[in-house]
Structures are given as structure tokens and as C-alpha cells.
Amino acid sequence: MPHEQKTRDVLWVRARIRELDEQGYGRFRLETGTPGWEWAEGVPPFEGPLPIGEEFLRQPAESVGNRTYRGKPRDVVVPYVLPGEEVLVRVDLRPQKKGLLRGWPETILSPHDGRVLPRCRHFGACGGCALQHAAYELQLAYKEEKVRRLLSAQGMRDVSISPIRGMAHPWGYRNKMEFTFRSDGIPGLHAKGTYREILPLSECHIAHPDIDRVREIVGKWARERGLPGYDKDRHSGLLRHLVVRKAFATGELLVALVATETPDGYASSLAELGAELRRTFPGLRGLLWAENRSLSDAVQVERLHVLEGRPYIEELLGGFRYRLELETFFQTNPLQAEVLVSTALAYVREVLDSSANALVVDLYSGVGTFTLPLARVAERVVGIEVVPASVEAARRNAAQNAVANVEFRLADAGEGLQRLLREWGRAPSLLLLDPPRAGAGARTVRTVIDAAPEAVVYVSCNPATFAEDAARLMDGGYALVSVIPVDMFPHTPHVELVALFRRTRLG
């Protein structure tokens, strides 16, 4: 919350946090007539970790004036708090989207038993994590309840939801990071609440330690040689992004610099960087330079230069070997990806156990993360994917793993499924969906219902859109048998799930 707000736009209140919402923010209701305080001279700055206790209430009396909230009742969203906590909240009285008010926790007056000290010193400033202040067991309970609440909102109150599958060691789990260079050449992450400010990091506890070490080495290299980062306002500078991929099972490492120029004028400096990376990481397989002159701040590759090694690494998942290039989409948490795949396969085996000549369709098949394992339990599997590079990678992965009973087709999910059904002339035994965050949507779900598979296994990275699609499937003659949440991203509000639907009637 900006500190330069006018005094009358800000109110301090004591609040009891009701719940955490889908984004991990605490909520409470600010009722008309709620007593509070305002500072006589603007808004004092907030710095450092959240204080616990009554520090605010011991401020000099002349600094504070009593004030009562006279607006209409509104929900206030507050970061870094937990349900049941009594908190002194600084409330911005200017309504935001959906009529919500934004608040900032100045003092935790009565902490939750599950409150812990965040491991990362950048917590609260960095936009990456939102729940490091909550014990991991509490995070898991919140995510499980989040799934339950979203399904209940769609009328699914009696669904069997299994205990969430979390991590034994929920740190250092990310196998890929994209850092953005500041104008001074330091690679960092976006600060919370802004896309323009880049936070210089001294640590990142959710990235694999090798990735964090690469960030340190590259940052030191760029600073010592005076290589400027990209300035978004002036559209000038050299270094834009640092992308690092780490294969957990094979130990291989891929490092890429995204820049506005060709690497030709920096050969000597890049050779020194490559030597340092090789000395530090025996698993280094490639050092890349990607040109990107576009105004967009997203990682884009207009031309790729392989400075050393090869442009990919290989990773093992579920007993299969996958080739990962710079832009290949792959599960970010490989340890929990194993859980996700094995959970989905358990459902598939349950359905296909007594089925002969099983035909299975994998919608949104990507690079074959689910398609290749499905080939072990079905006679034939067809993956349908709309991204050309992913289809090419999936075909290569199938060939590399000598999986002959799979086929990958480049098509929109719904249209590709319709064409496939016309060719087969029969319903698939099972259909697996793993759509993006937007979900499958009404049209594709209708096509799935018309295809009439015996069962649908739905892998979701967004329980909110899953709940909408689930309601559509149930209206179309499918019963939601069970749901298993999986924690793919500890210390964030995100949760994934795997669900099984069985056909009860033709829709």
C-alpha cells in the first residue's frame, strides 16, 4: 500500500481474520460503525518483519486520532495473515475491484499457532511466495479446504475428497526459473504487486539450489563486466532475462541469457562465464544466448545461439526420458509431477482393469507427460495438442522411449477429438484431460460428453475452473467419483488435483 496516501483514505482497525481466500489473502468484514484510528500526519512507513504484540498501541497519543468507519460494509483483503488471528490492519478505504478494500497487517496482536518465521529474507517483498508465514501442515489444510469450498460452490458438497498429497521436503522444488535483469545488470524477480520493479535477490528457497547458485554467478559476472540490463522505459540495455533449467533425476543443467543483441561482441566474456559454470556444475549441458528485441517483457526467442554444449537437457519422469529445450513446457516440480502422474494412472488402471483393446485419448497432451505412461496400460493412446512445438517434442519423446502405441496430433482439443471419433467410429474407453488454467470450457466439455467415454480422468491446475467443468460433466451424465488434491507449489496458494468421473448415462 503506497505511503503517500491522504490521511482520510486510510484507517487502522483491529480485525479478526475470517478466512484465507483463493489467492491466499486473509479476509475480514469492515462493518459500518467500526471504531479505528488515523494518524495525524499522513501514513507512517512500514518496514521489516511483521511485529507481534501491542507495539502500535503504545505510540504517543498525539500521533493518533480516533475515527469511526462510516462507509458501507465491505470485505477487506489482507496479505500475510492467518485465519483466526487478531490483527491491527491499515485499510485503504478506496474500493478496488469487486468493491473490495485492501489492507496491510501492521501488527499481529494474537498469532495463529501455525504461524512460523518465513525462511526467505525476501518474503513479503518478492512476488513469488505468499504462504511462507504458515506452517506447511497449515498450508496443506488450507489448500484441501480450498478445493472443497470451490466444489461446494458448484453444488458438489458430498464429493469424496482424499487428503492432499504434499511434499516431505517442500523446499528447492522448482526445476526452472526465469529471472529478469535490472538496469544495473543484477538478475532478480518481480517485486510483489508490480511488474516494473525487479527485486535483487540474495536467496530463493523454492528454486533448486543449483539454479540459485547460477543466478549468483551470472549476476556477479554481469556486474564485474559492466553489462547493462534492459531498461523497460528507455527500451535500451543488453541483458533481459536469465533462464535456468535443472533436471532433478539426471542432474543436467541448461543456462540461457536472453538479450537484445547478438553475442558476437561478447565472446571473451561469455567464454569466461562458460568456464566458471563448467567448474561449478559438472552437469552443465548447454549455455545459450537468445535474441529478443521485442517490446514485450516476456521471455521470447527470436534467434537462438548455442554458445556451448547442446540446446537441451534430458529428464526422467515416470520411467520415461524427456528432452527439455529452453521453451519446452514441462512440470515445474518434478518430484510432485511423479505423484500427479502416478495418481492419474491409478485411476486409469481402475477403469481399464478388465477392458480389452482399450482406446485412450489424452487431451492437452503437451510433450507426452501423461501420454507415454498411458501407453503402458492401453492398447492405443492418442494425444491431442494445439502447440506445434509441444507436438514435435512429444513425438520425439515417444520415439526416444520406443513407445510405439501412441500417436500425437496437432489440433484444437475439441476439434481434434471430433475428427478422431469420426475415424474410430466408437467411443474411447477413457479420456484424460489436462487443460491450462482456463479449464477445458463449455464447448470442449460438450465434445467430451458426446464422445461418451466410460470414464474421464481430469488433471487440473486450477480448482476454480475445474469445478465449472465438473458441473458441466455431471449435467452431461457423469458422476464425480473422487478427487485427490496434489500440492505442486508449496508456499503459494496454488493447488492441483486429479479427479475421476464415470459415465452414469448418455448425455
CA-closest candidate to residue 334, choices 312, 321, 316: 316
Sorted by sequence, the CB contacts under 8 Å of residue 280 that are 6+ apart come out as 213, 217
132 is in an annotated binding site: no
Q: Are 313 and 245 in contact (CB under 8 A)?
A: yes
Residue 110, beta-bridge partner list: 86
Beta-strand (E) ranges in 283-414? 284-291, 303-309, 312-317, 320-325, 359-363, 380-385, 406-410
From 126, 129, 204, 461, the catalytic residue: 461
Beta-strand (E) ranges in 398-503? 406-410, 430-433, 455-460, 478-486, 496-503
Catalytic site includes residue 461: yes
331 is in an annotated binding site: yes
Distance CA 380, CA 358 (A): 7
Q: Are 270 and 263 in contact (CB under 8 A)?
A: yes
Q: If you ran DSSP here, which 8-state letter would residue 27 be given?
A: E
Distance CA 135, CA 118 (A): 9
Amino acid 456 reads V
- Which residue in the block uniquely carries the three cell numbers 470442449? 444
434 is in an annotated binding site: yes
Angle at 370 between CA 140 and CA 175, to 5 degrees: 55
Amino acid 22 reads E
Strand 160-161 to strand 478-486: parallel, antiparallel, or no bridges (unpaired)? Answer: parallel
Q: Are 82 and 26 in contact (CB under 8 A)?
A: yes
Q: Which 3 state secondary structure label does DSSP give 342? A: helix
- DSSP of 55-85: TGGGS-GGGEEEEE--S--EEEEESS--TT-
Q: Roughly what angle, to the nearest 10 degrees, separates helices 441-451 and 463-475?
A: 40
Burial of residue 98, with CB atoms counted within 10 A of its CB: 0-12 exposed, 13-18 middle, 19 or more buried: exposed
Sorted by sequence, the CB contacts under 8 Å of residue 130 that are 6+ apart come out as 23, 24, 79, 80, 491, 492, 493
Distance CA 473, CA 149 (A): 19
412 is in an annotated binding site: no
Q: Are 410 and 400 in contact (CB under 8 A)?
A: no
Distance CA 217, CA 280 (A): 9
- Nine-digit cell string for 233: 522505459
- Which residues participate in catalysis according to the annotation? 461
Q: Which residues are annotated as a binding site?
A: 331, 364, 385, 434
Q: Which residues are annotated as a binding site for S-adenosyl-L-methionine?
A: 331, 364, 385, 434
